[in-house]
């Protein structure tokens, strides 16, 4: 299969330089200005940034259309000044009181309307900052107890909402970012298989695809590289959130490759072998600094994740695929296993 020999383009979101608060303790770092975050992106060789709608326009629910447009233009100018592009905008549909019991699948029609209007604002912001992609992390579309919702109805409500957006903007592309749980116990669209299935029942499946986050696949008990391969087979891997995760815990957003290097290697490999990036896809890094990290160095997780990706890319490109093919032909997977481990460690097999 042809490999994409172009340059990978990396992005992250303002939330990836955070204050280190968690459910058990307060912030331990001061907030950084957007300008500073853009400077970090530039200094570390990133080409773009990802956004939540209210990262661009704070207090979005209280803003008029004119205010939204003015602030978005200001952020677009900042991006231009830093030589950065906007990859996507995602509506924050899990914070407002209207979204306590879900957004598009909320049982209350007033709340569903809020979620739809909020997403239309998000699309307007995306257009204003030059992004065509809208990412839907369907945070609260699910249940805490099974009996509280009718799953079939919920899925169709999400489909209807997506149809509304596809019709609202004929250029927009919707990227579903599945996650099996957290904050809900059980999500309606828990995996990329569900997301892609849902895309096919919308009015324009060609404009609905997926964003796979490594940690989310792992939380679903799946291998991120296999999830990516599945989406690639459908031509629906339109972005990734690379990171790492230590098993079935809370969503850790660890640095890429920090927990399981071989799993990270296989993600880079599957992307490289499918020429990921050729159609403008980005490598997003949805990673968090450890809470222990001090203010002045709370960007190293981004540097490290990007560097680990590049180092693993080198491992992918220097893999002896002829030798690998021999092991496969002989069905000697033990030998292949050792060869991969040795290759990753840089020692003789
Ligand atoms: C949540 C998550 C989000 C999305 C964007 O787990 O990953 O940051 O990536 O809304
Ligand atoms: Mn993510």
Query: Using a 6 Å cutoff on CB, does residue 281 contact ligand 1?
Result: no
CA of 337 to the centre of ligand 2 (A): 31
Query: Using a 6 Å cutoff on CB, does residue 251 contact ligand 1?
Result: yes
Q: What digits encode the pLDDT tens for the residues 287-324? A: 999 999 999 999 999 999 999 999 999 999 999 999 99
What's the mean pLDDT when you consider all of the chain? 97
Q: What digits encode the pLDDT tens for the residues 265-295? A: 999 999 999 999 999 999 999 999 999 999 9
> Can you list the domains of the chain with their CATH numbers?
10-298 (3.20.20.150)
CA of 137 to the centre of ligand 1 (A): 6
Ligand with the closest atom to the CA of 13: 1
Ligand with the closest atom to the CA of 122: 1
pLDDT for position 207? 98
3-state SS record for the chain: CCCCCCCCCEEECHHHCCCCCECCECCCCCCCCHHHHHHHHHHCCCCEEEEEHHHHCCCHHHCCHHHHHHHHHHHHHHHHHCCCEEEEEECCCCCCHHHCCCCCCCCCHHHHHHHHHHHHHHHHHHHHHCCCEEEEECCCCEECCHHHCCHHHHHHHHHHHHHHHHHHCCCCEEEEECCCCCCCCEECCCCHHHHHHHHCCCCCHHHEEEEEEHHHHHHCCCCHHHHHHHHHHCCCEEEEEECECCCCCCCCCECCCCCCHHHHHHHHHHHHHCCCCCCCCEEEECCCCCCCCCHHHCCHHHHHHHHHHHHHHHHHHCCCHHHHHHHHHCCCHHHHHHHHHHHHHCCCC
pLDDT for position 5? 60
Q: What digits encode the pLDDT tens for the residues 60-94? A: 999 999 999 999 999 999 999 999 999 999 999 99
Q: What digits encode the pLDDT tens for the residues 30-58? A: 999 999 999 999 999 999 999 999 999 99
What number does the ligand 1 atom closest to the CA of 90 have? Answer: 10
Pocket test for ligand 1, best of 177, 251, 252 (most atoms within 8 A of CB): 177
The closest residue, in CA terms, to atom 6 on ligand 1 is 251
pTM, two decimals, is: 0.97
């Amino acid at each position: 299969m042809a490999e994409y020999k172009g340059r990978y383009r990396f992005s992250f979101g303002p939330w990836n330089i955070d204050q280190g608060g968690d459910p058990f303790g307060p912030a331990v770092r001061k907030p950084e200005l957007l300008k500073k975050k853009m400077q970090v992106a530039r200094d570390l060789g990133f080409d773009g940034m990802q956004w939540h709608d209210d990262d661009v326009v704070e207090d979005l629910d209280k803003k008029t259309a004119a205010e939204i447009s003015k602030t978005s233009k200001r952020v677009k100018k900042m991006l231009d000044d830093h030589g950065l592009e906007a990859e996507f905008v995602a509506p924050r549909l899990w914070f407002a009181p209207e979204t306590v019991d879900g957004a598009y699948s909320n049982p209350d029609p007033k709340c569903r309307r809020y979620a739809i209007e909020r997403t239309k604002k998000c699309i307007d912001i995306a257009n204003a900052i030059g992004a065509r992609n809208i990412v839907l992390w369907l945070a609260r579309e699910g249940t805490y107890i099974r009996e509280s919702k009718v799953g079939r109805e919920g899925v169709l409500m999400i489909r209807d909402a997506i149809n509304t957006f596809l019709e609202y903007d004929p250029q927009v592309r919707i990227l579903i970012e599945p996650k099996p749980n957290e904050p809900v116990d059980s999500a309606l669209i828990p995996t990329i298989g569900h997301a892609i299935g849902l895309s096919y029942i919308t009015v324009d499946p060609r404009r609905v695809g997926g964003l796979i986050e490594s940690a989310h696949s792992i939380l679903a008990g799946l291998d991120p590289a296999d999830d990516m391969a599945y989406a690639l087979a459908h031509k629906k891997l339109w972005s990734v959130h690379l990171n790492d995760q230590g098993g079935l815990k809370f969503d850790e957003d660890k640095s890429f490759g920090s927990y399981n290097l071989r799993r990270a290697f296989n993600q880079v490999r599957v992307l490289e072998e499918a020429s990921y990036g050729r159609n403008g896809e980005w490598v997003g890094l949805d990673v968090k600094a450890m809470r222990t990290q001090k203010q002045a160095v709370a960007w190293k997780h981004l540097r490290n994740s990007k560097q680990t990706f590049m180092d693993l890319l080198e491992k992918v490109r220097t893999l002896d695929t002829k030798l690998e093919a021999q092991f496969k032909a002989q069905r000697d997977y033990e030998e292949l296993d050792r060869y991969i481990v040795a290759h990753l460690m840089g020692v003789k097999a």
